[in-house]
């Protein structure tokens, strides 16, 4: 039987303005690389929607909510947040997920 992940999963999605794509994507890439190095991060991935190339979805796995809060204070995250504030169309959608014991 496979061990189940016991931390917190984050699903975050956003749309970029077409004219900000080239400016924002390198900042997002730098944040991904640095976030993957954080000790409390188990997975940090961003994917582009095949049907909407301006729509991006993050899936992340963290040790705890405190780990996410610490991550949100890191320079690489703050740089991405600032870039998204300028280049994002609409608002950011963030969902924090926990395991349900009955599903394990």
CATH number where 46 lies = 3.30.70.100
The answer to whether residue 3 sits within a structural domain is: no
pLDDT at 77: 98
**HSE of 104, CA atoms in CB hemisphere, 13 A:** 9
pLDDT at 4: 63
The answer to whether residue 49 sits within a structural domain is: yes
pLDDT band at 1 (very low <50, low <70, confident <90, very high): very low
Domain assignment of residue 81, given as a range:
8-98
The answer to whether residue 53 sits within a structural domain is: yes
Three-state secondary structure call for residue 35? helix
Alpha carbon distance 54, 88 (integer Å): 9
The answer to whether residue 54 sits within a structural domain is: yes
pLDDT at 3: 55
The answer to whether residue 2 sits within a structural domain is: no
pLDDT at 6: 81
Instruction: Say if residues 99 and 6 touch (Cβ distance below 8 Å).
Output: yes
Read off the pTM.
0.90
Each residue's pLDDT tens digit, 40-55: 999 999 999 999 999 9
Instruction: Say if residues 12 and 62 touch (Cβ distance below 8 Å).
Output: no
Each residue's pLDDT tens digit, 9-36: 999 999 999 999 999 999 999 999 999 9
**Cα dist. 70→7, 20, 23, 41, 62 in Å?**
15, 28, 26, 11, 11
State how many domains the chain has.
1
């Amino acid at each position: 039987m496979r061990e189940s992940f016991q931390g917190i999963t984050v699903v975050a999605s956003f749309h970029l303005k077409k004219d900000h794509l080239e400016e924002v994507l390198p900042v997002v890439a730098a944040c991904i690389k640095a976030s993957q190095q954080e000790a409390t991060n188990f997975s940090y991935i961003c994917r582009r929607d095949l049907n909407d190339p301006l729509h991006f979805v993050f899936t992340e796995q963290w040790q705890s909510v405190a780990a996410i809060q610490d991550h949100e204070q890191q320079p690489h995250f703050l740089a991405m947040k600032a870039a998204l504030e300028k280049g994002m169309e609409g608002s950011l959608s963030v969902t924090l997920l926990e395991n349900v014991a009955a599903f394990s």
